[in-house]
Amino acid sequence: MQSVARRETYAAIKTRHQRPPAGVPPPIPPMTSSTDWSASRAFSPLLLLLLLSSAPVCLGDLVDGSRLFPAGVRYEYESTTTVLTSGSADNRDPEVGHRVVGRLSVENLWPAITDTAGEKLLRLHFKSLKLQTWSKKSKNDINRQFIDRKSRIDRFSDQPFFLHWRNGHIENLYASSANSLTEENFKKGIAGLFQFQLSNQQTVEYSTLGKCNVTYSKINGNSVSKRIDGCVSPTTLPPEIKHPEKLWQGTLRSKREGLLKYNHESFIDVFLDENHEYSTSFMNEVGASISSKQHIELKETKPNSDIIEANTFEEAINQLEKQLKLKLEKQNLSPKHEVKNCKHYDSCNKLSDVVKKYHDSLLDSELGKSKSAYGAIKVIDAIVNSDTKTIKNVLIDKKNEDIIVQLYDLLGAALNENAHKASMETLVFTDAKSIEKIERYLWSASIKFNPKIEIIKSLISITDEKLTSKKVMDTLFNTVTAMASRLDRYNHTDTNALLCGELVVKTLERLEKCKQDDDECILTYIRALSNLKHPLSIEVLLSFAQHGNRMTSAYAMKTIKMFGPSLWSSQVLKYCNNIFFQLVKEQDSSTRAIALAILLESDPDYDLLKHVVEWLATPGEGYELKQYALELLKEMANQNKTSAKLLRTVLVRERLNHYGNMAQRGLSSCFSRKFINYNNITGLVKNSQQIYSGVTKRGSVDIILEHKNIKYDLCSFGMFTTGLGYFTSLYDDSGKTDTSDEANLPATAGLELIVFGVHIRPFIMFSSQGQLMGHVWAGTGSDKTPIIQGISQMIEHLEYVPLSNGITAELNVKGTLSLDISGQIEMSLWNKNAQSVIEKNGGVSIQGSLKLDTDLVTDEVDFALITEGLLHMHSDAEFAKKIVLCMRIVFVDTNVTTTVSKNQKVHGLPHKSYTTTTRTHPVSGRTFALNQMVNEFCNTIHSR
């Protein structure tokens, strides 16, 4: 009976000793191990009796280390806090950083009585604090030394601060008013070192890092390792900006580990190391890293007679305040954010000065180049820090007239309240002279991934006005639908979903009001539906696809394809089947081709593949459409191993693998080629050319990035033509006369562009035979002519990384794309040949910084990437006796340049440190083959 009673008494004491602190969730039960006495079943009554007769602090040794830091002793430690910053791991150069060293005394002022075992009042006091930085004189990086610097650390308060310690957790910190937030956060960082457990267990701790999961593992009799992960940042930090797509965020890898060594009454050594490394998704070399190390080492012990006698902790604090004649402020360990920006230092660069500095980078001649993208980021940053009046003054300045359109690009990229207000006050939507500026602002704004709902509503109100320009209305409706869709997709709330739903209804209502023969009106709102990507619009689009004319049906089917497999229901696949096999009515060949592409990308079954291959031998079907269908089958087999295996099975079982099915003779093509395979990113260029009468009826070149099995559509450049039947008799050697409507349509040609999933209104080059011949005789296409130009922001990332030492690092990354798509064509009716080139030039700049900014010192790493992507499409044609068409898709040689700069500034002193490292990586160009017939045509033409 006595043994049972003692066991119950021990359990009660243990439970009381481990009660969780107020406001902190109870820790996860400790893991069973040989050192966890509470889990041992072989517990002798004699040992239990000895434990119960001992002082409570001995029980603490077995549970959570309550015996450490007994009252009446002062422990003197040497403290070192080191922070180093550098480039990423793949671009590691000499680091820049600083450290704070000093003497730290620790005393327990309140020896808790039995009924409050597990609580302490620790007094911590710093003396002889010094700031040290790397010595510039040490050229050998391995043996570089820290040297003392005069700094504002001398202004730190000489007053001690106090910790409420309970069962291994720091519940609160008590201190008099600090002279700066840097001092306050530094003390919180030191306080976090005194959170510890001495047994194997997992728990939750609150510190300068926020709320973290902590795992303690006992190494031997006097040391314990500490691993910290799963941290949720403190709520005291400002809001962050993170693109929801991982590709545009980059990767931040963090590691936090510690080691505690102790003796029978105190710490001997405490180490807490953490490392953070950021790199962009595109190149591991582009990024930055931080290393933070905290270390305290016991140097000596002294007697201490400062003891407070109190029944509760609150009484102890009250007595302490009376003794010190100070008001102690109760604080948790969450760091207070130090707002450090250009406004804080009163060093903001004026927008007018920044625009003047980068004026030449924004000229028309620099669009599509990295110089333009680099300067754009600097101007965007200045716009964000400017008020409406300042922005308007820059817009109306006559010195900026030659870059005014680019400035509206950048206002759309910044897209904050001041930038939007300045744009709305300077743009006149009813003025024909402002169309280019209006469209450039709207195009840039439509790509912004995190638009504000107030700005969207402002633009929606303009759509209700009567605008004279159909181009502006088209672009405006595309913009508001794209912005609303992104807002709902990336920040799904009831309010955002309601706005998106209202726009869907509004678009469908306007579509219904369009006249049946008004293709321009219908296509405007079909493009808007493609931006919204809402399930409510699918039924309407299917109706247009099946019953519309050749143009509206193709656009409707293309929009459904853009929605992606997630919205391809059984109803959609049924319609696609009816359209391709023309089970309801005759369909336009482009509509049929898109319908087949959807079917083949939806895990086709045996019967579907069988019917498609059998259809290839159908007489009376256009041979170019059959050639295109065969190319789609080959592309499906290249992209999907399961479908490829099923296709082989169909060909063998049904005996369809013969010349009549698998050897078509057209020029149409559909293929994808890799141009990047680096850092888990695959870059694809996808070409689709549907040929009719020897010319491209509908074609596109798509740039796609694939990262961790997720595809990102960067850019799609499409071309469409009708009525160019002049070449029919030359190319079609079948002896049959084309009786379709296509041969009798008016001569038209246009270009369409999709950037980051957003439809840009099409650009019509000519819409009649007369306009076409006018271009031919005037030679207006002989000179390089811009098709679309603009600057857009594709990356925006702002993240705060709290460190265990109390400093918060700011990670800021921006990326811009400067786009220039232009074309040139030369045609000779005398020589009966033509040459054309379409150039898609994109300049890319990614700039980022990792900054640790305090009142003492600022350490910063700036990193940058600049490159140019030059994709050119060449066409050479001869039509003297028979069409010979050579098409080439060429990636031009380019370079990728990376730069890492490291800066350090000790505030209050002239001391500065600055280093820069630049590397250039050449990227070889390549030419993509289309198919064997085109290769033969190219050999024929170029051999002459």
Asked if 278 and 290 count as a contact pair (C-beta separation under 8 A), the reply is no
Place of tokens 């999933």: 757
Mean pLDDT of 343-361: 84
Burial letters 73-107, b for 16+ CB under 10 A, else e:
ebbebebbbbbbbbbbeebeebbbbbbbbbebbbb
pLDDT tens, residue by residue, 164-192: 999 899 999 999 988 889 999 999 999 99
Q: How confident is the model at residue 565 (pLDDT cuts 50, 70, 90)?
A: very high
pLDDT tens, residue by residue, 594-646: 999 999 999 999 999 999 999 999 888 888 899 999 999 999 999 899 999 99
Say what angle helices 370-384 and 417-426 make with each other, to 10 degrees: 100
694 φ/ψ sector (left φ>0, alpha ψ -120 to 50, else beta) = left
What is the C-alpha to C-alpha distance for residues 668 and 688, in angstroms, rounded to an integer?
8
Contacts of 482 (CB under 8 A, 6+ apart): 446, 447, 531, 757, 758, 759
What is the C-alpha to C-alpha distance for residues 48 and 53, in angstroms, rounded to an integer?
9
Mean pLDDT of 52-63: 36
Higher-confidence position of 285 and 114: 285
Q: Is the pLDDT of residue 333 over 80?
A: yes
pLDDT tens, residue by residue, 228-238: 999 999 998 99
Q: What are phi and psi of 772, to 5 degrees?
A: -60, -50
Higher-confidence position of 52 and 417: 417
Q: Tokens at residue 796, please?
A: 């925006």
| Tally of CB atoms within 10 A around 345 | 11
Q: Is the pLDDT of residue 751 over 90?
A: no
Q: How confident is the model at residue 581 (pLDDT cuts 50, 70, 90)?
A: very high
pLDDT of residue 43: 33
DSSP codes joined into one string, 768-821: SHHHHHHHHHHTTTSS-EEEEEEEEEEEEEEEEEE-TTS-EEEEEEEEEEEEEE
Task: Sort 922 into a burial class: Cβ within 10 Å, 0-12 / 13-18 / 19+.
Answer: exposed
Q: Is the pLDDT of residue 780 over 70?
A: no
Mean pLDDT of 711-739: 66
What is the C-alpha to C-alpha distance for residues 417 and 415, in angstroms, rounded to an integer?
7
Burial letters 391-421, b for 16+ CB under 10 A, else e:
bbebbeeeebeebbbbbbbbbbbbbeebbbb
- Across 345-349, 741-745, 927-931, least confident range: 741-745
pLDDT tens, residue by residue, 878-909: 777 777 778 888 889 999 999 999 999 998 88
- Nearest to residue 316, comparing CAs of 328, 300, 304, 305? 328
3-class DSSP state of 876: strand
Q: What is the pTM of this model?
A: 0.85
Asked if 699 and 689 count as a contact pair (C-beta separation under 8 A), the reply is yes
Q: Tokens at residue 275, please?
A: 């490392």
Q: Is the pLDDT of residue 593 over 70?
A: yes
Q: Is the pLDDT of residue 62 over 70?
A: no
pLDDT tens, residue by residue, 537-551: 999 999 999 999 988
DSSP codes joined into one string, 271-287: EEEEEEEEE-SS-TTSE
pLDDT of residue 94: 74
Asked if 854 and 338 count as a contact pair (C-beta separation under 8 A), the reply is yes
Asked if 75 and 26 count as a contact pair (C-beta separation under 8 A), the reply is no
- Nearest to residue 91, comparing CAs of 901, 672, 905, 856? 901
- Nearest to residue 603, comparing CAs of 653, 568, 555, 560? 568
Place of tokens 């069409």: 883
Rounded (10°) CA dihedral 435, 437, 442, 448? 170
pLDDT of residue 726: 57
- Across 359-368, 540-549, 664-673, least confident range: 664-673
Asked if 458 and 442 count as a contact pair (C-beta separation under 8 A), the reply is no
Interior angle at CA 804, CA 799 and CA 810, nearest 5: 20
Q: Tokens at residue 729, please?
A: 């008799």
